[in-house]
Structure 1
Amino acid sequence: MGFLRRVRQTPPSAFGRLRHDVSLRIADAAFTGLWAISGTARKMTPPAVADRTITLKVAERRVVARDQDVVAVTLVGADGGPLPRWYPGSHIDLHLPSGRIRQYSLCGDPAVRDAYRIAVRRIPDGGGGSVEVHDALQPGVPVTTHGPRNAFPLTVPGYGSPTRRLRFIAGGIGITPILPMLALAQRHGVDWSMLYAGRTRDSLPFLDELARYGDRVTIRTDDESGLPTAAQLLGDCPGGTAVYACGPAAMLTAVRAELVGRDDVELHFERFAAPPVVDGTPFSVTPASTGAAVRVGADETLLAALNRAGVHARYSCQQGFCGTCRTRVLAVADGAVDHRDTLLTDPERDDGMMLICISRGTAGSRLTLDL
C-alpha cells in the first residue's frame, strides 16, 4: 500500500513567478520559529492540581440535646486563620481520623469566619461515623475537609425569590441546615414560620437557641401529640410559600405527596439518609478482592448490600451527588448498569464508573467491581 508524504514548502510569489518573494521568506521563517516555540510549550508538563485540603482542629464540643445523643462540634483552622465563606444550607465533607468521610451541615453563624460548627446525633448501629465523632473528636483532634458545598441553598423572598413567605419543617437532627436559615430570614424581615418535630423534647437539639424566635417556632413531639400528618407539618401554606424541609425520609415523602399539584408552592428539601429504592430489581455484584457474589435485593441499595456482606467501600452522602463512592465496574454480564445519579458524565460512565450508593444493576445482571 502506497502513501503520500506531505512536505511543507514555501509558496511561489504572489505574482505567479517561481522566484520566492522576500516577504514570504520572512513570513515562513517567522512561522517556523513560532511553530518551534509552540512545540516546546506543547511538551510542557501541565500544572499540578492545587491541593484544596483544609486542616481543621476541634476547638469545642457541647452536648445540645437533653438525651445526650447530639453533640455540637466547633472546628477552627489549624493555622488559626479565616476559613472559606459559607451560606445557609451548606455542608462540609469531613475526613475523620479513621479515614471515613461523612457530610455534616454547617449550623453555626455564617458571619463567623474563623470557625465552623456541626452537630451530630449518635447512631450506634449506623456506619460508624457518628460514633467516631462522639467518641474521638475531642478538643485538639485534627480533621480535614475541602471546604463548604451547598446542595440546599436558601433563596430569600424579595432577594431573588418570587415567593412571599417561608415555611420551615425540621425533623430531629434535620434542624442543622435549617438553623442558619432562620437567622437569615429573621434578619431580612421575611414572613416565616417553622414546625420542629421529634420523638421527645429531650431528643431535640438546639431548643435553647430556638427559644428566641418565640411563637414563630412550633415544637411538636410524638410522645405528646402523636406522629404529625403532612397537613400539620405544612400548616397554613398559602400560595406564594416556599417550603424548606429536612428530616426523616418518611416525613419528606409525606410532605412531597401533600404538595402534589400545588404549583403555587415551592418545595426544597434535603435528606440525611439514603432515599428509598424505587423500581429496583434484584441483581448480583462481585467484589474483585473477594470473588464472592453478593445478592442485592430489589428494595436495597448496592452500598447497603456490600456493607451487609462485610465489604466496606468509601461513601458519604448516600444520595448520588458527592462522588465519594465512585467505583469502577470491571465487568457486566447479563444486563447493564442502571445509573441513577446526576453527577457522572457520559464519558465517565462509558469508562466504567458508577456511584454505588444510588446506582445499581438491571434485573438479573452480574456486576464485578474494583473493590
Structure 2
Amino acid sequence: MQLTILDRVERPAEDVVALTLRGANGPPAPWEPGAHVDLTLPNWLTRQYSLCGDPEDRERYRIAVRHERLSRGGSDYIHRYLRQGRTLEVSLPRNHFPLVPAPGYLFLAGGIGITAILPMVRAAAGAGAASSLVYVGRTYAAMPFAGELRAAYGDRVTIVATDRDDRPDLAALAAALGPETVVYCCGPASLLASCEAVFPAGRLHVERFRPAPRTFAPDTAFDVVCARSGRTVPVPADESLLSALTHAGLPVPAGCREGVCGSCELTVLEGEPEHRDDVGAAPGRMYACVSRSLSSRLVIDL
C-alpha cells in the first residue's frame, strides 16, 4: 500500500467528485492507461477506482467517483466526508484493461466509465494514432470531463447527452470501423452488451464495473492446501474460498468481492481452479472471492 494525501477535491459534474492524491512519502507508483487502484477509506471500506489523470504526471493520481444513492457506503462516504489534507491508503496500480498498440482506436464511454477511457484518449493522441471517442451520458451536466475532452480533442470527441440527443448508432460505427482499429468500451452493462453484439470480439476490449451474469454448476466442497503455511483449509459448498481462508486465519486482501478488480489474486500450484471472475485470470492464477475448484484438492501459494 501507498500513503497519499488528498491534495484537491473538485466537482467536475453533477454528483461526481474528483480527488487528486499526491504521495505522502514521495511520488506514487507509476501507472499506464487502464489501471485502477484500491482506495482504503477511513470507515474501513475499500473500493476500486480507475486512474483518470495523466500517466505522465509522476507526482499525483486522480480518480473520480459518482455519488450512488444506493451504494454500499463507499461513494456516499467520499462525497459527504472526505476533505482536502486527509491521508489515505492506496494500493499499487493494477491493470486488467491495458491499451494495446494499434494504428487506430474507437473509444466508447458511458457515464462514469469515462474515467478508464480518458487516459487512453490522451495516450492515443500522444502516440499519433487515429482515434475517436463517443461519450454517452444522461445529461451534459452529469458527464465529468466532457468540457476537458472537447477542449483538448475537438471533433475527435462526440458527446451524446441522451436527454437531448439520439443514442449512438453502434451498428453504423461497427460498419465503418477501419481494418486495424481496436475498440475500447467502459460503462454500464447495457452499453457493454450492445457493443459486444456489434463489434468483432477479437478487436473489442471492455471493462466491467459489475460482473456479467453467468450460470455455473452447483457449488461443491473442496480442500485448499496452503503450501507456505502448511495448512489445509476445507471450503464448504456454501462458503467462498476467500471467506474460508479468512475464517482460518489466512486472510487474503480483497476489494470488490465480485470478481472484477483482481485484488484477491492467488497463485495456484496444483489442482484445477474453476474461474468465475470477469478479469480473466492468467495461467496459474485465480481470484479467491468468486472462483472455486473443479478438483477436490487445490494447492495455493499462501
TM-score (norm 2): 0.75
Q: Who is 1:74 aligned against?
A: 20
Partners of 1:283 and 1:361 within 8 A in 2: no
Q: Who is 1:105 aligned against?
A: 50
Out of 198, 204, 221, the residue aligned to residue 267 of structure 1 is 204
1:313-352 aligned at under 5 Å gives the runs 315-316=255-256, 318-320=258-260, 322-324=262-264, 339-341=275-277, 343=281
Partners of 1:58 and 1:73 within 8 A in 2: yes
Partners of 1:245 and 1:270 within 8 A in 2: yes
Partners of 1:103 and 1:317 within 8 A in 2: no
Query: Aligned partner of 1:271: which letter?
Result: R
TM-score (norm 1): 0.62
Provide Cα deviations, 1:223-254, integer angstroms capped at 9, x if missing partner: 22344443256473121111111111111111
Query: Aligned partner of 1:268: which letter?
Result: H
1:181-330 aligned at under 5 Å gives the runs 181-212=120-151, 213-232=153-172, 234=174, 236-260=176-200, 266-276=203-213, 278-280=214-216, 315-316=255-256, 318-320=258-260, 322-324=262-264
* Distance 1:318-1:248 versus aligned 2 partners, 3 A rule: same
| Residue 54 (1) aligns with residue 2 (2) | yes
- Partners of 1:360 and 1:171 in 2: CA distance: 32
- Partners of 1:203 and 1:320 in 2: CA distance: 25
Taking CA–CA contacts closer than 8 Å with sequence separation of 6 or more, which of the two structures ends up with the larger relative contact order? 2
Partners of 2:48 and 2:255 within 8 A in 1: no
* Distance 1:215-1:59 versus aligned 2 partners, 3 A rule: same
Identity value in percent: 40
- Indicate the SS of the match to 2:164: helix
- Indicate the SS of the match to 1:138: coil
| 1:177, distance to aligned residue in structure 2 (A) | 1.4
Higher-Rg member (1/2): 1
Provide Cα deviations, 1:8-64, integer angstroms capped at 9, x if missing partner: xxxxxxxxxxxxxxxxxxxxxxxxxxxxxxxxxxxxxxxxxxxxx211111101001
Gaps of at least 5 residues in structure 2 are 222-237, 243-252, 267-272, 295-302
* Distance 1:147-1:323 versus aligned 2 partners, 3 A rule: closer
- Partners of 2:158 and 2:7 in 1: CA distance: 32
Query: Aligned partner of 2:209: which letter?
Result: F
* Distance 1:251-1:302 versus aligned 2 partners, 3 A rule: farther
- Indicate the SS of the match to 1:215: helix
Q: Who is 2:235 aligned against?
A: none
| 1:318, distance to aligned residue in structure 2 (A) | 2.5
| 1:319, distance to aligned residue in structure 2 (A) | 2.6
| 1:186, distance to aligned residue in structure 2 (A) | 1.3
* Distance 1:283-1:148 versus aligned 2 partners, 3 A rule: closer
Provide Cα deviations, 1:249-300, integer angstroms capped at 9, x if missing partner: 111111112124x76xx11111122222x12467799xxxxxxxxx99xxxx
- Indicate the SS of the match to 2:123: helix
* Distance 1:134-1:175 versus aligned 2 partners, 3 A rule: same
Provide Cα deviations, 1:162-206, integer angstroms capped at 9, x if missing partner: xx3111101111111111111111122211111101111111110
- Indicate the SS of the match to 2:78: helix
Provide Cα deviations, 1:137-180, integer angstroms capped at 9, x if missing partner: 210111112321211111233xxxxxx31111011111111111
Gaps of at least 5 residues in structure 1 are 1-52, 158-163, 286-294, 304-312, 327-336, 363-371
- Partners of 1:202 and 1:103 in 2: CA distance: 24
Write 1 or 2 for the structure with the bigger share of strand.
2
- Partners of 1:63 and 1:235 in 2: CA distance: 37
Q: How many residues align?
A: 262
